[in-house]
Amino acid sequence: MNITAPDKHAQLKAADANSSVLAFMAKRRSALVRAMTGPGPDEEQLAVILRLAARSPDHRKLFPWRFLLFAGKARAEFGAHLAKFFTADCPDLPPDRILFERTRFERAPLVVGVVSSPKDCPRGTPKWEQELSAGAVCMNMLLAARASGFAAQWLTEWYAFDTRIDQVLGLQANERMAGFIYMGTASEEPMERPRPDIANLTQIWREN
Ligand SMILES: Cc1cc2nc3c(=O)[nH]c(=O)nc-3n(C[C@H](O)[C@H](O)[C@H](O)COP(=O)(O)O)c2cc1C
């Protein structure tokens, strides 16, 4: 599919009613990585998914995020680190548990790590906003992946919070993982899950 990028100075629409987008959002679900198989996006499809994910709100155009791609052999290579650190922490693991760690990234044909990479911006964009922008990129990536025909799930699991893994991934001191977006083809369609009662989460603000 040819998803063109607008020219740099193109005038875009601020609103564009589109009921099929609303219907898509109404039925959007994450796929479960345990029900994911190949194929994943090819190079061209991935380029579109990343470009659309990066069309996310970002105060002061800092682009405070970056991507790490895990495909092919790299998934097993990274899995060896997962197994090593997990075994160091829990030495008495049964072999099948170690194998699970070793093959975590092989659950999907492609994993995209989204690194939150806030820029030093004294009195500028707060770090919190920059981290929220990384979350927005993850969400847009889920949408773009699904609309490209792929199953996707946003996971952090334990390795998004492990400083040894941060080192393996080459993260700088100010960086952390916003998530790992697993992408592939659903081997089983997900069921709807409970959704919140919006009225319970919504208040009309009034001065006390
Ligand atoms: C930041 C973030 C991290 C998540 N990490 C995990 C995880 O480690 N394990 C997990 O089972 N689900 C995790 N989830 C939840 C799933 O990705 C997903 O939100 C959930 O399965 C269903 O959401 P849906 O409304 O997109 O279908 C995480 C979600 C977010 C937003």
Closest-CA residue, ligand 1 atom 12, reads 155
Tell me if 155 CB under 6 Å of ligand 1: yes
Q: Which atom of ligand 1 is least distant from the CA of 160?
A: 8
For every one of its 208 residues, what pLDDT tens digit does the chain have, with 9 covering 90 and above? 679 999 999 999 999 999 999 999 999 999 999 999 999 999 999 999 999 999 999 999 999 999 999 999 999 999 999 999 999 999 999 999 999 999 999 999 999 999 999 999 888 999 999 999 999 999 999 999 999 999 999 999 999 999 999 999 999 999 999 999 999 999 999 999 999 999 999 999 999 8
Contact 150, 185 (CB under 8 A): yes
Contact 47, 67 (CB under 8 A): no
Contact 112, 67 (CB under 8 A): yes
In-domain check, residue 102: no
Separation of 96 CA from ligand 1 center, angstroms?
24
Q: What share of the chain is helix, strand, coil (3-state, %, to 5)?
A: 40, 15, 45
In-domain check, residue 70: yes
C-alpha dihedral sign at 9, 14, 19, 25: positive
Tell me if 153 CB under 6 Å of ligand 1: yes
Closest-CA residue, ligand 1 atom 16, reads 154
Q: Tell me how far apart the alpha carbons of residues 135 and 146 are, in angstroms, rounded to a whole number.
A: 17
Domain containing residue 132: CATH number: 3.40.109.10
In-domain check, residue 89: no
C-alpha dihedral sign at 25, 180, 160, 115: negative
**Model pLDDT, residue 123:** 84
| pTM for this prediction | 0.97
Q: Which domain holds residue 150?
A: 32-75+110-186
Instruction: Please count the structural domains in the chain.
Output: 1
**Model pLDDT, residue 122:** 81
Contact 150, 1 (CB under 8 A): no
The type of residue at 3 is I
Structure tokens at 190: 């997900």
In-domain check, residue 127: yes
Tell me the per-residue pLDDT of 73-82, one tens digit each, with 9 for 90 and over.
999 999 999 9
Burial state string for 2-20 with b = 16 or more CB within 10 A and e = fewer than 16: eeeeeeeeeeeeeeeeeee
In-domain check, residue 84: no
Contact 142, 181 (CB under 8 A): yes
**Model pLDDT, residue 73:** 98
Q: Tell me how far apart the alpha carbons of residues 126 and 94 are, in angstroms, rounded to a whole number.
A: 45
Q: Which atom of ligand 1 is least distant from the CA of 29?
A: 27
